[in-house]
Amino acid sequence: MLNLKSPMVVVSNRLPFVLKRNENGELQRKQSAGGLVTAVAPVVIQCGGLWVGWPGIHMDDPHQSVPESDPGDMGPSAGLKSEQVVPVHVEEQLFDDYYNGCCNATFWPLFHSMPDRAVFVADMWEVRMEFGLVRSAACLILSAFDCSMLGLGLAIVNMSLPRGQSYSTVNVMFAYQTVDALKKMKMKNQEGEERIPLVWIHDYHLMLAANYIRQECEEQNLQCKLGFFLHIPFPPWDIFRLFPWDNEVLQGILGNDLVGFHIEDYCRNFLDCCQRRLGCRVDRVHNLVDVAGRTVKVRALPIGIPYKRFEEMANAAPRALQSSQQIVLGVDRLDYTKGLVNRIRSFERFLEKHPEYLGKVALLQVAVPSRTDVKEYQQLKEQMDLEIGRINGRFSTLNWSPIRYIYGCISQDELAAYYRDSSVALVTPLRDGMNLVAKEYVACQVDKPGVLILSPFAGAGETMHEALLVNPYELDDVADTLHRALTMPIDEREMRMYHLKKREQTMNVDFWLTSFLKVSIKTFPGHNVIGVH
Ligand code: G6P
Atom 7, ligand 1: residue with shortest CA distance: 231
pLDDT at 4: 78
Chain segment 244-261, per-residue pLDDT in tens? 889 999 999 999 999 999
**Ligand 1 atom nearest to CA at 104:** 14
Residues 196 and 70 in one domain: no
Ligand 1: residues within 6 Å at CB? 14, 203, 231-232, 370-371
pLDDT band at 132 (very low <50, low <70, confident <90, very high): low
**Domain match, 156 and 22 both:** no
**Which of 86, 105, 126 corresponds to the end of one domain?**
86
DSSP-derived 3-state class of residue 161 = coil
- 163 and 177 inside one domain: yes
pLDDT of residue 136: 60
pLDDT in the model for residue 120: 84
Same domain membership, residue 313 and residue 279 = no
Mutate to test the pocket of ligand 1, among 30, 108, 232 (most ligand atoms within 8 A of CB): 232
Q: Does residue 291 register a pLDDT over 70?
A: yes
Domain end call among 61, 86, 111: 86
Q: Please compute the mean of the pLDDT values over residues 62-66 and round it to a whole number.
A: 79
Residues 17-29: what's their mean pLDDT?
A: 91
CA distances from 342 to 232, 288, 336, 426 (A): 21, 39, 10, 11
Note whether residue 121 is domain-resident. yes
Tell me the pLDDT tens digit for each residue of 225-240: 999 999 999 999 999 9
Asked whether the predicted pLDDT for residue 161 surpasses 50, the reply is no
Q: Is residue 2 part of a domain?
A: no
Q: What is the CATH number of the domain that holds 345?
A: 3.40.50.2000
Quote the pLDDT of residue 437.
98
Residue 166 inside a domain? The answer is: yes
For 38, 223, 327, 439, the CA distances from 227, given in Å and listed in that order, are: 19, 14, 42, 25
ipTM above 0.95, yes or no: yes
Task: Kindly report, residue by residue over 403-456, the tens digit of the pLDDT.
Answer: 999 999 999 999 999 999 999 999 999 999 999 999 999 999 999 999 999 999
Contact 128, 252 (CB under 8 A): no
Predicted pLDDT at 155: 42
- Residues 376-398 have a mean pLDDT of 98
Comparing 98-112, 120-134, 165-179, 430-444, the range with the smallest average pLDDT is 120-134
Do strands 8-14 and 198-202 pair parallel, antiparallel, or not at all (unpaired)? parallel
* 150 pLDDT tier (thresholds 50, 70, 90): very low
Domain span including residue 48: 7-86
Closest C-alpha among 406, 415, 392, 400 to residue 358 = 400
Do residue 469 and residue 527 come from a single domain? no
Kindly state whether residue 1 falls inside one of the protein's structural domains. no
pLDDT at 36: 85
Choose the final residue of a domain: 64, 86, 108: 86
Minimal CA–CA distance to 294: which of 402, 368, 218?
A: 218
Are residues 224 and 80 located together in one domain of the fold? no
Q: Is residue 419 part of a domain?
A: yes
Q: What does the pLDDT read at residue 135? A: 59
* Number of domains observed in the structure of the chain: 3
pLDDT tens digits for 468-501?
999 999 999 999 999 999 999 999 999 999 999 9
Do 314 and 286 lie in a common domain?
A: no
Are residues 209 and 156 located together in one domain of the fold? Answer: yes
Query: For residue 433, is it within any domain?
Result: yes
What is the whole-number distance in angstroms between the Cα of residue 484 and the centre of ligand 1? 33
Residue of minimum CA distance from atom 6 in ligand 1: 370
Structural contact between residues 74 and 109, judged by C-beta atoms closer than 8 angstroms:
no
Give yes or no: residues 522 and 484 share one domain. no
Distance 278 CA to ligand 1 centre (A): 28
The residue with greater pLDDT, 323 or 55, is 55
Q: Judge if 380 and 266 occupy the same domain.
A: no
Does 219 reside within a domain?
yes
**Domain co-membership, 34 together with 125:** no
Q: Give the CB-side neighbour count of residue 180, counting CA atoms within 13 A.
A: 17
Q: Specify whether 364 is located in the same domain as 406.
A: yes
Whole-angstrom Cα distance, residue 294 to residue 463? 32
Pocket test for ligand 1, best of 18, 98, 231, 431 (most atoms within 8 A of CB): 231
Q: For the segment 188-209, what is each residue's pLDDT rounded down to a tens digit? A: 777 788 889 999 999 999 999 9
Q: Whose CA is nearest to atom 10 of ligand 1?
A: 14
Q: What does DSSP say about strands 17-21 and 27-31: parallel, antiparallel, or unpaired?
A: antiparallel
Mean pLDDT of 29-54: 90
Q: Residue 436 domain-assigned?
A: yes
Mean pLDDT of the chain: 90
